[in-house]
C-alpha cells in the first residue's frame, strides 16, 4: 500500500513538472497596436495596386508591340550588302547592315515575307524559302522602338533569279569534222547564251563558254588514234545541266590524207580536208596555167620572128 502511494506521488510530481515546462514554452503575444495594423494593410494594398498596374502595362505593351509599326519617312532604311542573285536551289539569302534597329522586315515586291533580329554587330541575315522559279525583287525595312514601334521606308530593291530549268537540248547545235590526221580537233556550235559546254571522253574534259549570242568554240580537243567518242554536257549559269543524246564521233588517222583539225567557221568544214586540198589543187592549177600561157606566148614570139 505504501509502495502504491509512492508511485502515485512520483507520477503526480512528473505531471506537474511537464505542465510547468509546457507553460514555459508557450509565448503569449500581445495584440498589435491599432496604428501598426492599419499601416500593414495600407502597404499591402499599395503593393497589390502596383502589381495590377504592372500587369496592365505589360498587357498594353504587348498589344502595342504586336501592332504594325508606324512609318517614319525620316528614318534611313537598312542596306542589302549580299543577296543570292542567281540560283537553281529553293533558297534566297539576304544579308546586310541595320545599325540602330532591332528588327528587319523583308519584302518580296510589296508583300512582307518575314522578319529577322539584328545582331549586336548591327548585321542581319534572312533565308527566304521559295516554291517556284522566277524573278524575285527583295527589299528590307528597319524597325525600332518600344512599345511604340517605327519603321523605315523600303530599301533599294535587289533582284534574285531562281532558275531550275535545264538548258533546252533543241537550242544546241554541234559542228565538227568526223575525220582528221591531226591529234586535236575543234568543235563549234550554238547553245543557250552564257552556257558552259563540256566535251568529255573518259577522264578527259574540254570546255568552252557560249557568248551573248549563244555561239561557242572549243579548241585543242585531244584525240587518240582510231575512233573517238565524246559525250556533251551543257550547263546554264544557274548550274542546271543537261546531257545531249547526240555523241561526237571523230576518227583520227595519222597516216590519212584528211589534214584538217576542225571547222574554221559555220560554212567551211576544215576537218573534211577540203580547205587544204582545194588550196593545193588551185595552186597547182595556177602554176599549170602560168606554164601554158608562157609556152603559148614564147611560141607566138618565135613564130612571128621566123615569119619576118
Does residue 2 surpass a pLDDT of 60? Answer: no
- Report if residue 10 sits inside a domain: no
Domain count of the chain? 2
Confidence label for 294 from pLDDT (cuts 50, 70 and 90): low
Q: Is 153 exposed, middle or buried (0-12, 13-18, 19+ CB in 10 A)?
A: middle
Q: Are residues 144 and 214 in the same domain?
A: no
Rg (C-alpha) for the chain, rounded Å, is 49
Q: Are residues 98 and 148 in the same domain?
A: yes
pLDDT 10s digits, 68-94: 899 999 999 999 999 999 999 999 999
**What is the layout of strands, in order, in the sheet containing 184-190?**
173-175, 184-190, 215-222
- Report if residue 285 sits inside a domain: no
- Report if residue 295 sits inside a domain: no
- Report if residue 15 sits inside a domain: no
Q: Are residues 154 and 185 in the same domain?
A: no
> Rounded distance, CA 145 to CA 187, Å?
64
pLDDT 10s digits, 192-208: 999 999 999 999 999 99
> Rounded distance, CA 93 to CA 222, Å?
42
Tell me which residue has cell 515546462: 21
* Residue 304: predicted pLDDT: 57
Domain finish residue from 162, 186, 210: 162
CATH number at residue 110: 2.60.40.10
- Report if residue 259 sits inside a domain: yes
Q: Are residues 174 and 158 in the same domain?
A: no
What is the 3 state secondary structure string of 67-107?
A: CCCEECCCCCCCEEEEECCEECCCEEEEEEECCCCCEEEEE
- Report if residue 56 sits inside a domain: no
pLDDT 10s digits, 209-260: 999 999 999 999 999 999 999 999 999 999 999 999 999 999 999 987 765 5
Q: Are residues 221 and 259 in the same domain?
A: yes
- Report if residue 200 sits inside a domain: yes
Q: Are residues 85 and 146 in the same domain?
A: yes
- Report if residue 231 sits inside a domain: yes
Domain finish residue from 162, 192, 222: 162
Q: Are residues 195 and 123 in the same domain?
A: no
What is the domain extent for residue 124?
A: 70-162
pLDDT 10s digits, 10-19: 555 554 555 5
Amino acid at each position: 500500500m505504501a509502495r502504491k502511494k509512492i508511485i502515485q506521488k512520483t507520477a503526480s510530481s512528473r505531471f506537474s513538472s511537464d505542465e510547468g515546462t509546457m507553460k514555459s514554452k508557450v509565448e503569449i503575444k500581445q495584440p498589435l497596436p491599432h496604428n501598426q495594423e492599419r499601416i500593414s494593410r495600407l502597404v499591402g494594398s499599395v503593393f497589390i495596386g502596383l502589381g495590377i498596374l504592372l500587369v496592365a502595362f505589360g498587357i498594353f505593351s504587348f498589344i502595342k508591340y504586336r501592332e504594325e509599326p508606324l512609318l517614319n519617312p525620316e528614318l534611313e532604311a537598312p542596306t542589302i550588302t549580299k543577296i543570292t542573285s542567281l540560283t537553281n536551289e529553293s533558297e534566297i539569302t539576304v544579308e546586310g547592315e541595320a545599325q540602330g534597329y532591332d528588327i528587319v522586315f523583308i519584302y518580296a515586291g510589296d508583300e512582307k515575307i518575314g522578319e529577322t533580329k539584328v545582331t549586336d554587330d548591327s548585321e542581319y541575315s534572312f533565308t527566304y524559302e521559295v516554291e517556284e522559279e522566277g524573278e524575285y525583287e527583295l527589299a528590307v525595312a528597319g524597325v525600332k522602338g518600344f512599345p511604340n514601334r517605327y519603321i523605315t521606308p523600303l530599301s533599294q530593291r535587289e533582284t534574285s533569279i531562281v532558275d531550275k530549268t535545264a538548258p533546252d537540248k533543241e537550242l544546241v547545235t554541234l559542228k565538227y569534222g568526223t575525220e582528221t590526221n591531226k591529234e586535236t580537233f575543234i568543235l563549234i556550235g550554238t547553245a543557250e547564251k552564257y552556257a558552259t559546254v563540256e566535251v568529255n571522253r573518259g577522264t578527259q574534259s574540254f570546255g568552252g563558254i557560249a557568248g551573248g549570242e549563244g555561239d561557242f568554240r572549243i579548241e585543242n580537243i585531244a584525240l587518240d588514234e582510231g575512233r573517238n567518242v565524246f559525250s556533251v554536257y551543257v550547263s546554264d549559269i544557274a548550274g542546271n545541266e543537261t546531257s545531249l543524246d547526240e555523241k561526237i564521233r571523230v576518227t583520227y588517222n595519222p597516216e590519212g590524207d584528211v589534214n584538217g583539225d576542225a571547222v574554221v567557221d559555220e560554212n567551211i568544214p576544215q576537218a573534211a580536208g577540203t580547205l587544204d586540198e582545194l588550196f593545193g589543187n588551185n595552186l597547182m592549177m595556177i602554176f599549170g596555167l602560168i606554164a601554158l600561157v608562157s609556152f603559148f606566148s614564147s611560141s607566138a614570139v618565135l613564130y612571128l620572128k621566123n615569119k619576118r
